[in-house]
Amino acid sequence: MTSKFAELQIVFSQYEHPVVLTVEAQAKYVGHVKGALSKNLFLKDKKQRFYIVSALAETKVDLKVLSQRLGLGKGGLRMAPEEALAEILQVPLGCVTPFALVNDSARNVSLLLDQGFKSQECCFFHPLSNDMSIALNARDLDKFLNSIGKNPAYIDLEANPTVGKDQPPDLANLVPSDAAVLAAPVEKQSQGSEKNHISVNNQQNAVTGYICHMHHNDTFRPKLSSRNLLFVHCCDGQSMVLMCIVDLSLASKAVKPSNASTKEKSSGAASSSISYADTDKFVEEILEKTKSIVLSEIKEENAEKYREQLATLVSNNISKLGVELKNIATIFKNTAYTEGFKAGIHHQPKRM
């Protein structure tokens, strides 16, 4: 990587030290040097999209606010699991860094940079290992990022603008357009443009339904017919809570780790096995579907017309929705019962 720096004529200083896992530990070794330390978070959202948030150590980063600003709703952002660190960023624990984007596996990771970096003479980041720290100016960081085809996005991480019906999430454009591809084979849904849907699932997870909080300007692409939609007014009046039942044609996303996409026919991933035991996925998928449907129906209408339209859609689609919901719920119940049954037959009775 340092050769790349030389190529781009980037001015930097490099410091070696024992492996550090935290900013505090790093500070012990390079804190005396002129330069701002950075804290780097590797995050993921519910649709398996990943983000690096790189900020000055003293900047307060509120994940809930960030999540809303990105248009992911409240609580849409979480710390990414350790495996993702290895798989996507290809860095060890404690080494999240903007430089990890040099890896092809990280091509769909979105980078959010603290605008505070710009006012510093130089900032510290790890290269691809945490036994070294590199200090460079924000401009040089940009040079590097541009050279690997990344557009640096500097934002005020402490800002907390209201996000609502009339105020769209200001960071929505920073959401990656493609879900990250993990090592396990992914069943891509055959009906195209499913980029914003859950498409990766390492374990056999249920994907059947969810409740979503809808924002006016969501960027998701619509997919379903309006038949599968039910609207319920939510308490805060600003947005509607929507329940949608997965059209089961989109429900089958999970893939057995041993079984790749081979023999599928054009109708989609129907032969992959789905476990309906996972309620998170259940709920998520409903939300997902709801979002798409709502947007497919809303499009350019203004607020008033939008409400009326929704009301009509509700009454028209409620019964169809009910049927599908019950089918899914029955499968869910049967699965839960089966697990209990299996546990029961294997259970060892107490010794008296």
Partner 1 sequence: MEQKTQEEDQIVTPWEVAAEKGGKIDYDKLIDKFGCQRLDQSLIDRVARLTGRPPHVFLRRGVFFAHRDFSDVLDAYERGEKFYLYTGRGPSSEALHLGHLVPFMFTKYLQDAFKVPLVIQLTDDEKCMWKNLTVEESQRLARENAKDIIACGFDVSRTFIFSDFDYVGGTEASTCNLDYFSDVSIYFQEIFKMHTTIKCDMDPAGLWFCMVLLFEISPVSCHTCASSAFTVEIIVQFLLQEHGQDCKVVGIFGFSGEDHIGKVSFPPVQVDMLLAAPSFPSSFPHLFSGKDSLRCLIPCAIDQDPYFRMTRDVAPRLGYHKPALIESSFFPALQGETGKMSASDPNSAIYVTDSAKDIKNKVNRYAFSGGQDSIENHRKYGANLEVDIPVKYLGFFLDDDAELEHIRTEYGAGRMLTGEVKKRLIEVLTELVERHRRARAAVTDEMVDAFMAVRPLPNMFS
Using rule CB under 8 A, residue 22 touches partner 1: no
Q: Which positions from 286 to 325 touch partner 1 by CB under 8 A, shown as an x/- string?
A: --------------------------------------x-
Using rule CB under 8 A, residue 40 touches partner 1: no
121, 177, 178, 337: residue in contact with partner 1 (rule CB under 8 A): 337
CA distance 332 to 218: 30
14, 129, 191, 273: residue in contact with partner 1 (rule CB under 8 A): 273
Pairing of strands 154-155, 110-114: parallel
Using rule CB under 8 A, residue 327 touches partner 1: yes
Backbone angles phi, psi at 112, to 5 degrees: -115, 120
181, 234, 248, 321: residue in contact with partner 1 (rule CB under 8 A): 248
Stretch that binds partner 1, among 28-36, 108-116, 259-267, 289-297 (CB under 8 A): 259-267
- The CB-of-50 to partner 1 minimum distance in angstroms stands at 29
- The CB-of-337 to partner 1 minimum distance in angstroms stands at 5
Which CA distances in Å does 53 have to 62, 78, 145, 246?
11, 12, 14, 33
CA-nearest of 17, 63, 18 to 39 is: 63
CA-nearest of 202, 218, 204, 201 to 288 is: 218
CA-nearest of 163, 153, 152 to 71 is: 163
14, 267, 312, 315: residue in contact with partner 1 (rule CB under 8 A): 267
Using rule CB under 8 A, residue 338 touches partner 1: yes
Using rule CB under 8 A, residue 266 touches partner 1: yes
The contacts of residue 184 (CB under 8 Å, 6+ apart) are 200, 202, 255, 257
Question: Residue 167 or 334: which CB sits closer to partner 1?
Answer: 334
Question: Residue 22 or 338: which CB sits closer to partner 1?
Answer: 338
137, 272, 290, 292: residue in contact with partner 1 (rule CB under 8 A): 272
Question: Residue 32 or 265: which CB sits closer to partner 1?
Answer: 265
Pairing of strands 110-114, 132-136: unpaired
251, 283, 293, 294: residue in contact with partner 1 (rule CB under 8 A): 251
CA-nearest of 112, 100, 113, 122 to 37 is: 122
CA distance 166 to 1: 45
Using rule CB under 8 A, residue 146 touches partner 1: no
Contact present, 234 and 289 (Cβ < 8 Å): no
Using rule CB under 8 A, residue 331 touches partner 1: yes
Using rule CB under 8 A, residue 265 touches partner 1: yes
Question: Residue 275 or 279: which CB sits closer to partner 1?
Answer: 275
40, 48, 252, 317: residue in contact with partner 1 (rule CB under 8 A): 252
Using rule CB under 8 A, residue 276 touches partner 1: yes
CA distance 4 to 20: 24
What is the separation of C-alpha 154 from the centre of its chain, rounded to a whole number of angstroms? Answer: 20
| Number of DSSP helices (H) and strands (E) in the chain, helices first | 7, 11
C-alpha dihedral, 183 to 42 to 113 to 7, nearest 10° = -50
- The CB-of-186 to partner 1 minimum distance in angstroms stands at 17
Residues that bind partner 1 (CB under 8 A): 248-249, 251-252, 265-268, 270-276, 324, 326-327, 330-331, 333-335, 337-339, 341-342
